[in-house]
Amino acid sequence: MPEPISRDTVAKVARLARLDLTEAEVDRMTTQLAGMLEHFCDVDALDLSNVQPLNQPIPLTNVLRDDVEQPSLDRDEVLGSAPAAQDGRFRVPPIIGFEE
């Protein structure tokens, strides 16, 4: 079984998940995640050595439609519900150049 999850790992996972957690949230989350992961160790009672993982319950693969043009969503309607749009596109803050 892996090491119990540390506060540093929780902070790193929060960055990966793009979640700005407060210090108090990181503390609380460390305790709660550790509890859940410990519970997960129950499965160590099972012999899983020759078991194939089951990703999804039905055996459909590569479902593709014919490559024919079809109408799409109305662009103005889609952009109309976005937080910010300009010139027919989603508008976002600067992507680079503000690293500290």
Partner 1 sequence: MTRRTVVDIATQVAAGSLSASTVLEENLAAITAREHEIHAFNLVTADRARERAAEIDADVKAGKKVGRLAGVTISLKDNMCTRGVETTCSSKILAGWKPPYDATVVRRLADEGAVFVGKTNLDEFAMGSSTENSAFGPTRNPLDTSRVPGGSSGGSAAAVAAGFSAASFGSDTGGSIRQPAALCGLVGVKPTYGMVSRQGLIAFGSSLDQIGPFTTTVADAALLMEVIAGHDPLDSTSLPQPAPQLTSVLANGVKGLRIGRVADMPEGSSPDVLARLDAAFEALRAAGATVVDVKLPSMSFGLTAYYLVAPAEASSNLARFDGVRYGLRVDAKDLNAMYGATRAAGFGDEVKRRIMLGTYALSAGYYDAYYGKALKVRRLIADDFAKAYAQCDAILTPTSPTVAFKFGDKTSNPLAMYLCDVFTIPTNLAGHAAMSVPFGTGEAGLPVGVQVLAPALGEATMFRVAAELERAS
Site for partner 1, rule CB under 8 A? 1-2, 5, 9-10, 13-21, 25, 29, 32-33, 35-37, 39-40, 42-43, 46, 48, 51-58, 60, 63, 65, 73-74, 77-78, 81-84, 90, 92-98
3-state secondary structure the chain: CCCCCCHHHHHHHHHHCCCCCCHHHHHHHHHHHHHHHHHHHHHHHCCCCCCCCCCCCCCCCCCCCCCCCCCCCCHHHHHHCCCCEECCEECCCCCCCCCC
Distance of closest approach, residue 86 Cβ to partner 1, in angstroms: 13
Distance of closest approach, residue 14 Cβ to partner 1, in angstroms: 7
Whichever of 69 and 74 has its CB closer to partner 1, that residue is 74
Distance of closest approach, residue 12 Cβ to partner 1, in angstroms: 8
